[in-house]
């Protein structure tokens, strides 16, 4: 987080000095001094990416249809729009508020028509790519590269065509994973640059993060509700509810000690659960899954996903036994089930022999396509 705003070159004299430094840098003079370390490092990255200092505009990478699709998939975007709507008249004079995805592509741009017209000349518009590797040092791109809030003013931009502008950009992060979801940026004419612009960008980003945190609480509640319903239905089975980060929210009394809220589950297992939930949009509501504990040991479960709109937000896992060998696990479980059925007079006795509840045995029969003889008493 940027705190020393007086280091930012707002004043014309500071800009003139920085312009001379910038000229020496783009001409290839090594050791040119001046400017902030954050900016000099970004200039180095821009040069390493072969960005042209005389680039006339950022590349357009999203056509209208593709842009609409990306906006639809960015489920954080409505909260950012709400924050934009609440900011009132703060951006009507010479500024735009823009939103970018985690790939640096602009999804939306609103604000002063005069500023919009001027910035459109350098393709600062929806559908354009503003990563450092594509457009050199700039607010959104440098915020993505550093993971920090930045304010890039005038000649701090690597490309000369951007020197007329300033941009204050703040990353928006996933409340569960910490990954960058996108960038909130306020850009405008360089002569309007002021610490208040950066402070406004920070305030709006904080507002968005608070709304995302509230949504995450609602999602966790939905997972807990599903867990309560399932724990009543499968009272004798080990049940674990997880969020989309793979963290345990709820565990039934017969769940393993290592899979309980507040316990530090193995990172490999947590990551595997998180990846399973994240891929949930390609899965059915319930599916058989296996999570690795070690190279040859894992945990099997029947996973019931919890979906919020299009987004998988967690899962309720009905565990099948303890940790078991991965190799031929299904074959071994099927063989053990057949053996128990052949030796037991009733389904209850077969379940007892297998040390599982009868409801778990029925699910196992369905999973393996087993149909015990009708003469087997089900009592």
Residue 347's pLDDT is 86
- Taking 90 as the threshold, does the pLDDT of residue 216 lie above it? yes
Over range 272-285, report the average pLDDT. 76
User: How far is the C-alpha of 106 from the C-alpha of 274, rounded, in Å?
Assistant: 28
- The structural architecture, per CATH, of the domain 5-215 is 2-Layer Sandwich (3.30)
Closest CA to 310 of 281, 276, 279: 281
Q: Is the pLDDT of residue 160 over 60?
A: yes
- Give the pLDDT score at 244: 92
Identify the weakest region by mean pLDDT among 4-13, 108-117, 152-161, 182-191: 4-13
Strand order from edge to edge, sheet including 297-308? 248-251, 239-243, 311-325, 297-308, 286-294
At 102, the pLDDT band (50, 70, 90 cuts) reads very high
Average pLDDT, the chain: 87
* 234-327 carries CATH number 3.30.450.20: yes
H helix intervals, the chain: 12-26, 37-48, 64-73, 77-86, 113-120, 132-135, 139-146, 195-233, 267-278, 329-343, 347-354, 358-368
* Sequence ranges of the domains in the chain: 5-215, 234-327, 328-379
Tens digit of each residue's pLDDT (9 = 90 or more) over 172-213: 999 998 999 999 999 999 999 999 999 999 999 999 999 999
Count Cα atoms within 13 angstroms, Cβ side, for 374.
Answer: 0
Question: 5-215 and 234-327: same fold?
Answer: yes
The mean per-residue pLDDT over the stretch 149-175 comes to 97
Is 233 exposed, middle or buried (CB count within 10 Å of its CB: 0-12, 13-18, 19+)? exposed
């Amino acid at each position: 987080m940027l705190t020393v705003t007086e280091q930012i070159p707002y004043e014309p004299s500071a800009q003139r000095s920085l312009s001379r430094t910038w000229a020496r840098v783009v001409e290839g003079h090594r050791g040119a001094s001046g400017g902030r370390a954050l900016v000099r490092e970004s200039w180095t990255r821009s040069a390493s990416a072969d960005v042209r200092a005389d680039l006339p505009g950022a590349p357009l990478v999203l056509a209208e249809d593709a842009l609409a699709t990306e906006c639809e998939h960015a489920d954080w975007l409505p909260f950012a729009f709400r924050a934009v709507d609440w900011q009132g008249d703060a951006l009507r004079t010479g500024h735009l508020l823009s939103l970018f995805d985690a790939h640096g592509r602009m999804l939306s741009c609103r604000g002063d028509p005069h500023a919009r017209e001027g910035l459109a000349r350098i393709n600062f518009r929806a559908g354009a790519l503003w990563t450092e590797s594509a457009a050199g040092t700039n607010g959104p791109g440098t915020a993505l590269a550093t993971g920090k809030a930045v304010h890039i003013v005038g000649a701090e931009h690597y490309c000369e065509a951007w020197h007329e502008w300033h941009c204050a950009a703040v990353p928006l992060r996933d409340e569960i994973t910490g990954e960058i979801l996108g960038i909130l940026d306020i850009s405008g004419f360089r002569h309007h640059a002021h610490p208040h612009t950066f402070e406004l960008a920070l305030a709006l980003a904080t507002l968005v993060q608070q709304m995302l945190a509230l949504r995450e609480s609602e999602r966790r509640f939905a997972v807990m509700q599903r867990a309560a319903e399932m724990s009543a239905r499968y009272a004798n089975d080990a049940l674990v509810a997880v969020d989309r980060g793979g963290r345990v929210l709820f565990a039934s009394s017969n769940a393993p000690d290592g899979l309980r809220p507040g316990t530090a589950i193995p990172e490999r297992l947590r990551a595997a659960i998180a990846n399973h939930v994240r891929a949930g949009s390609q899965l059915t509501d319930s599916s058989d899954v296996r999570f690795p504990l070690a190279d040859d040991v894992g945990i099997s479960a029947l996973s019931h996903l919890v979906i919020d709109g299009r987004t998988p937000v967690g899962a309720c896992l009905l565990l099948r036994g303890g940790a078991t060998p991965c190799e031929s696990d299904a074959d071994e479980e099927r063989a053990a089930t057949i053996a128990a059925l052949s030796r037991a007079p009733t389904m209850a006795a077969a379940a007892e022999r297998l040390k599982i509840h009868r409801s778990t045995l029925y699910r196992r029969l369905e999973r393996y396509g087993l149909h015990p003889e009708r003469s087997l008493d089900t009592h």
